[in-house]
């Protein structure tokens, strides 16, 4: 069982140390307990997914200490500014375009050009954010498929020893996850309903605020509505060699991998190959996945050839994303 520590100056400092060292901590927020890790550190974010046992890499919410910090990561428009002034700190998550120079790990945003961000209202969450001085990626602190936890005991029962520390501060007052509002299109759209309602948002923006399921032809769950990162060139899975013009996304040793045109994969120019993890470490591979796919996603390559990744642990989520990337375009047989 993970250590449950009651929030105090000392334990908040301790939790901040764990986060700065790349660890993961369950923290209270006003909505639900979150499983927090340094959003700038892909390896820490990979540990969050590992602890949750998530079969998929869904993009995570970045939590910030101060509304001013939002400018560093996302493009704010007038709508975002007025909603922030009204509802932050609080249970409203805004989905906004990622800034070009945004330092947040690509794993947090699952390779998307958009990013979800919120400033929590809970005093312990805010103290922890200030103390560690980092933006924190934090999904709800439950194993995948279980409901979001609103008490420390609930977190402990769900995540057990998968988390470095549980920072305990009673029950969450809101009890349901934050409202997720997409501001990346001209119509602001609620992707996930929460305590801040369409009416609340509409009153500030002066326009109608539909729920995402109301504006699609077929009702879908928020997860299905989500766009997935897809490279602009084809992706070829389970590659055992590299074809002419292809870039290589490797996993493990490529010592003996050949090129169909002759020669070895290891002799490809640097711009044409990346290795998710030379030692075959799935955590490292997850941390690198989206940034490396993007690095190879160039019109000068005919496709990205991806080596086989074992379908265990984080490999399941990695393969899920790779399959989506591969099927988003029609690959020639």
* Binding residues vs ligand TXA (CB under 6 A): 29, 31-32, 34, 58-61, 91, 93, 95, 109, 112, 114-116, 138-140, 177-178, 180, 191-192, 222, 226
CB of 274 to Mg ion, least distance (A): 30
92 or 322: CB nearest ligand TXA: 92
Number of residues that bind Mg ion (CB under 5 A): 1
CB of residue 286 vs ligand TXA: minimum separation in angstroms? 16
Q: Which does 26 bind (CB under 5 to 8 A by kind): ligand TXA, Mg ion, none?
A: none
Nearest-approach distance from CB 302 to ligand TXA, in angstroms: 29
From the list 160, 124, 115, the residue with the least C-alpha distance to 141 is 160
* DSSP-H helix ranges across the chain: 9-20, 42-52, 70-73, 78-87, 123-132, 152-159, 198-205, 222-225, 282-296, 314-327
User: Count of CB atoms within 10 A of residue 157's CB?
Assistant: 14
Nearer to ligand TXA, 29 or 158 (CB): 29
From residue 286, alpha-carbon distances to 21, 51, 68, 175, 181 in Å are 18, 13, 30, 31, 27
Inter-residue long-range contacts of 52-56, CB under 8 Å, 24+ positions, other chains counted? 52/139, 52/142, 52/143, 52/144, 52/159, 52/162, 53/143, 53/144, 53/162, 54/139, 54/144, 54/317, 55/144, 55/316, 55/317, 55/320, 56/223, 56/317, 56/320, 56/321
Contacted by 222, from Mg ion, ligand TXA, none: CB < 5 to 8 Å by type: ligand TXA
In the complex with Mg ion, the residue whose CB is nearer, 33 or 73, is: 33
Q: How far is the CB of 100 from ligand TXA (least distance, A)?
A: 16
Give the nearer residue to ligand TXA in terms of CB position, either 228 or 266.
228
Q: Which is nearer to ligand TXA, 75 or 241 (CB)?
A: 75
Taking the C-alpha atoms of residue 50 and residue 28, their distance in angstroms, rounded to an integer, is 20
Question: Measured from the CB atom, is 215 or 331 closer to ligand TXA?
Answer: 215
Cα dihedral: 309, 312, 317, 322 (round 10): 20
Q: Which stretch binds Mg ion (CB under 5 A): 136-144, 200-208, 233-241, 313-321?
A: 136-144
Give the nearest residue (CB) to ligand TXA.
34
Residues numbered 138 to 157 that lie near Mg ion (CB under 5 A) are 140
Rounded to a whole number of angstroms, the minimum distance from the CB of residue 62 to ligand TXA is: 9
Cα 175 to Cα 147, 159, 197, 235, distances in angstroms: 11, 18, 15, 41
If one asks whether residue 178 binds Mg ion (CB under 5 A), the answer comes out as no
Considering beta carbons, is residue 37 or 234 the nearer one to ligand TXA? 37
The CB-of-144 to Mg ion minimum distance in angstroms stands at 9
Under the rule (CB under 5 A), what is the footprint of Mg ion? 140
């Amino acid at each position: 069982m993970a250590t449950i520590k009651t929030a105090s100056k000392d334990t908040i400092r301790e939790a901040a140390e764990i986060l700065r060292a790349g660890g993961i901590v369950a923290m209270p927020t006003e909505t639900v307990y979150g499983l927090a890790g340094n959003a700038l550190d892909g390896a820490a974010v990979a540990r969050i997914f590992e602890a949750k046992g998530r079969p998929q890499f869904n993009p995570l919410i970045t939590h910030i200490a101060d509304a001013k910090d939002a400018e560093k990561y996302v493009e704010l428009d007038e709508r975002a500014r007025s909603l922030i002034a009204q509802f932050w700190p609080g249970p409203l998550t805004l989905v906004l375009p990622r800034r070009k120079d945004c330092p947040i790990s690509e794993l947090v945003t699952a390779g998307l050009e958009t990013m979800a961000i919120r400033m929590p209202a809970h005093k312990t969450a805010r103290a922890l954010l200030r103390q560690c001085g980092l933006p924190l990626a934090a999904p709800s602190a439950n194993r995948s498929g279980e409901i979001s936890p609103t008490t420390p005991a609930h977190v402990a029962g769900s995540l057990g020893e998968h988390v470095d520390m549980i920072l305990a501060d009673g029950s969450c007052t809101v009890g349901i996850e934050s409202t997720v509002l997409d501001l990346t299109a001209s119509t602001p759209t609620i992707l996930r309903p929460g305590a801040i309602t369409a009416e609340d948002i509409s009153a500030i923006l002066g326009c109608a605020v539909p729920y995402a399921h109301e504006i699609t032809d077929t009702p879908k769950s928020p997860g299905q509505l989500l766009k997935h990162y897809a490279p602009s060139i084809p992706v070829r899975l389970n590659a055992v060699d590299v074809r002419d013009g292809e870039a290589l996304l490797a996993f493990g040793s490529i010592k003996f991998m050949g090129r169909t045109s002759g020669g070895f994969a290891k002799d490809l120019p640097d711009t044409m190959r990346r290795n998710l993890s030379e030692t075959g470490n799935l955590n490292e591979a997850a941390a690198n996945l989206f940034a490396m796919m993007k690095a190879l996603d160039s019109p000068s390559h005919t496709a990205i050839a991806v080596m086989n990744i074992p379908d265990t642990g984080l490999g399941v989520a990695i393969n899920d994303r790779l399959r989506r990337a591969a099927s988003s375009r029609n690959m020639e047989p």
